[in-house]
Amino acid sequence: MATLGDVRTWNAEPLNTAVGELNRRYDQLMGLADELAAACQPSGWVGEAAYNAATSARKRTDRLEEQVAGVAAVRRAPAESADAITALHHAVAEIDGLARANGLLVADDGALVSQTWAGRVHDLDRVKAELVDRIEQVLRRANAIDEDLTTVVNRARTSQTLDGDADGLTGAAQAGTARGGLSVAGPPQGGSPSDNAGWWDTLSDMEKQRITKEHPDWIGNLDGVPAAARDAANRARLPGERAALGRHLAEVEAKLREAGERGGEFAELREKTWRAELDKIKAKLESIDALERILRTDNRHLLVVDMSGERAKAAVSVGDVDTADHVAVYTPGMNSTVNGNLKDYVNDVEGLRNSSQLELDRAGGGTVATVAWLGYEPPNTSREILDAASDARAREGANRLAPFLNGIDASRENDAHLTALGHSYGSLTTGIALQQKTGVDDAVVFGSPGLGTSDPGKIQVAHGHLYNIEADGDPVADLGDPLAHGADPSSLPIPQLSTHETVTPDGRHLRASAGHSQYTWENTTSQYNMSLVVAGMNDRVIPGR
């Protein structure tokens, strides 16, 4: 089994050199194709001697076809191995860089050695866990490369590359080439975001392109994979999702007709059940329509699309999540659906991004990306809203949100300044998610009924970096119940930000926000405050009264 020290010493150049020699040998063998065909059965020669000669020539042909297949396989395997080793070295460099940035050294046996501390204290355990996951994926891939290359070479050495008859040298070459490729394992089963990031980093560019094209379902919703790859995969998945829903729709329509035709004691109940299922499918098809409309605007990226469950789930970013200096993830609350109002949330985060970018430009620079995350099913129907006193849906959503947040930093070479934003029931979801290690630097909740705890110390962001915004006349923000959602955030010892009309130090007039739904409106004090936190300008926020 390979060690990290072994991988560090692997050199792709000898493999590239071998490929050049194998290409020369391959061309020589393929040049014999016409000569071989003529030698097998000279024109006009018949009889026993001709038969024996043809049999002997066929045996030579079989040997030559096996030789061609072996060379074709062996010339492909080192070429792909060289690319894979280059990708592994990049992955190891990322591991070493992350370790150094956080005062750690990674030994050749994979052990983590503490050096002078240079990172964020509250994130050290998370960083160590990420390093362990990444090392595991490097070794997983390294051993797979070693095994694949050994298998290809051994097949060629023992004349076992061909699996059946070949159709001449050209057919043998094609068969050998097909058997010479490296296997591409899928992402680790049940992997963490850092496992997934480590797996992705070990792949060559060609392998990444192949997976995006052939297996978009592997990576579209995989936390830890870069946003650009997820977007490409998810866009490619939409037609298939639409087709699957269309087939399901036809099946349910047939069941509905059958229920009506059968009649009987429970006919009405059966029809009601199938109509409810029909409505769900139609809503999901409408969700795909909504996503396609949202994505027509430039600079928007589809980071999540999930048609499982009762309702569609999705996340759309504005800006480049992979490279932005500052990234914010906004989680909305009750009555939020992909087909109903995700477009409005995308517009909200676009406005917030523009506001943050304006502040950064005034201060000297920086880039921002924002995400509208509806990767869960918040309370929506009348019954669900009555059940909103329960935090079950928030906890389910938090278990999806936490790895999404973690995956943003895991997928990048350099961590972003990451802000979590939560509105209404989405703030409860955010608060529960942030009780896990997520890499979030700042959090802002607004219109919040609670954080899932009455102890702000359980929220894993640095002290003083959890903010609450509550507008006048917001009934939801006063629903805090220590026995259900946790205390009202306005009563907690955390910074409270203003929503009142004001004038900024540079003379800009900002409007007040009121009620439950105006927090992200343009040119409001609440939006201004959020944009400053997102931009990392916490010292300039306007405190609440």
Q: Which pLDDT does position 545 carry in this prediction? A: 72
Q: What is the pLDDT of residue 208?
A: 95
pLDDT value of residue 60: 58
| pLDDT at 184 (0 to 100) | 82
Give tens-digit pLDDT for 425-436: 999 999 999 999
pLDDT level of residue 265 (50, 70, 90 thresholds) = low
Helix axes 48-101, 193-201, angle to 10 degrees: 130
Kindly report, residue by residue over 153-182, the tens digit of the pLDDT. 777 677 666 666 656 666 676 776 677 678
* Spatial separation of the C-alpha atoms in residues 106 and 92, rounded to whole Å: 10
R_g over Cα of the chain: 30
What tokens appear for 443 in the block?
A: 């959090």
pLDDT digits (tens, 9 = 90+) for 132-150: 999 999 999 999 988 888 8
**What average pLDDT does the structure give for the chain?**
87
Residue 57 pLDDT class (50, 70, 90 cuts): low
Provide CATH code, domain 231-540.
3.40.50.1820
Identify the pLDDT of residue 38: 54
In sign, the C-alpha dihedral spanning 175, 176, 178, 184 is positive
For residue 31, the model assigns a pLDDT of 59
Q: What is the pLDDT of residue 182?
A: 80
Instruction: Output the pLDDT for position 150.
Output: 85
Distance between first and last Cα of the chain = 63
Q: Confidence class of residue 494 from pLDDT cuts 50, 70 and 90?
A: very high
- Write the pLDDT tens digit of every residue in 241-251: 999 999 999 99
Max CA separation in the chain (angstroms): 109
More confident residue, 4 or 156: 4
156: number of Cβ within 10 Å: 23
**Model-level pTM?**
0.87
430-467 pLDDT, tens digit each: 999 999 999 999 999 999 999 999 999 999 999 999 99
Residue from 137, 123, 121, 101 nearest 438 by CA: 123
Whole-Å CA distances, 183 to 77, 146, 327: 10, 11, 35
Domain locations in the chain? Answer: 4-181+191-211, 231-540
CB-based contact 352:530 (threshold 8 Å): yes
| More reliable by pLDDT, 357 or 482 | 357
Query: pLDDT tens for residues 58-90?
Result: 555 666 677 677 777 777 877 888 899 999 999
Give the pLDDT confidence score for residue 502 in this predicted structure. 96
Note the pLDDT of residue 176.
Answer: 67
